[in-house]
């Protein structure tokens, strides 16, 4: 009898129980990165965006805040996400602003990061440009009354995966191994169990992911065993 590995996509909502407290992992439509969840609210033909204040309130209404950026690594992640949107080259509100004091920029979530990534010629403080947007080319100061998409951010220090699951990149994995009460399942039964969790049998996208799986088999199982994965012959 064979065992199996369940892969669970991070964008499916789950609950993580840790130290008797419940933490929400990233909900559907949010993007996970480095213990943070991000929501890109993009402009479309049917959605013309929000002003800065409305965007802030919407982010806070779901327990987050407008995006703050700690360093170059986080900024690069955000820029990559912007470039991968269906509608590209958009501007998004972030939390940085100088509403309280001209030319003293602060984050709306009260973080104290000194990192900046201004576009050439910015900030220029013209025409009461007290709020900031991010594009794939840098940050710009603009009028807070303008309409743009916006990015919400929520801290998720518990990680995205439930207890007992292993996280790698954007995915969670659960290894079902033989024990005193589990002697293995057929491929079809294994698939059904994975689907019941909202996941699927393991698919492997590249060499890096394959090496991760092999490493965990060696680390946790301590011996070589056969595990079902999702690949089947295309009839």
Given a cut of 50, is residue 9 above it in pLDDT? no
Query: Would you state the torsion angle of the CA atoms of residues 128, 130, 135, 138, taken in this order, to the nearest 10 degrees?
Result: 100
CB distance 132 to 139 below 8 Å: yes
CB distance 3 to 227 below 8 Å: yes
Beta bridge partners of 235: none
Q: What is the pLDDT of residues 34-54, one digit of tens each?
A: 888 899 999 988 889 999 999
Give the Cα separation of 137 and 94 in Å (integer).
14
Which of 144, 119, 115 is closest to 51 using CA atoms?
144
Q: What is the pLDDT of residues 193-212, one digit of tens each?
A: 888 777 889 998 899 989 98
Q: What is the pLDDT of residues 111-148, one digit of tens each?
A: 999 999 999 999 998 878 999 999 999 999 999 999 99
């Amino acid at each position: 009898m064979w065992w199996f590995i369940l892969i669970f996509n991070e964008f499916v909502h789950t609950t993580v129980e840790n130290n008797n407290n419940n933490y929400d992992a990233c909900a559907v439509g949010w993007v996970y990165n480095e213990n943070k969840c991000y929501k890109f609210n993009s402009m479309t033909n049917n959605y013309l965006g929000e002003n800065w204040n409305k965007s802030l309130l919407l982010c806070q209404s779901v327990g987050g805040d407008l995006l703050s950026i700690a360093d170059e690594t986080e900024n690069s992640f955000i820029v990559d996400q912007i470039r991968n949107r269906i509608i590209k080259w958009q501007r998004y509100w972030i939390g940085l602003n100088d509403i309280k004091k001209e030319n003293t920029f602060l984050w709306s979530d009260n973080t104290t990061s000194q990192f900046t990534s201004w576009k050439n010629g910015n900030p220029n403080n013209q025409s009461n440009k007290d709020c900031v947007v991010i594009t794939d080319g840098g940050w710009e100061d603009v009028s807070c009354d303008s309409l743009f998409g916006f990015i919400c951010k929520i801290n998720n220090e518990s990680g995205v995966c439930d207890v007992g699951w292993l996280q790698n990149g954007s995915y969670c994995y659960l290894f079902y191994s033989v024990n005193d009460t589990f002697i293995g399942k057929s491929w079809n039964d294994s698939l059904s169990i994975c689907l019941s969790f909202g996941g699927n049998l393991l698919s492997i996208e590249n060499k890096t992911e394959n090496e991760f799986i092999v490493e965990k088999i060696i680390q946790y199982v301590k011996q070589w065993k056969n595990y079902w994965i999702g690949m089947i012959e295309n009839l």
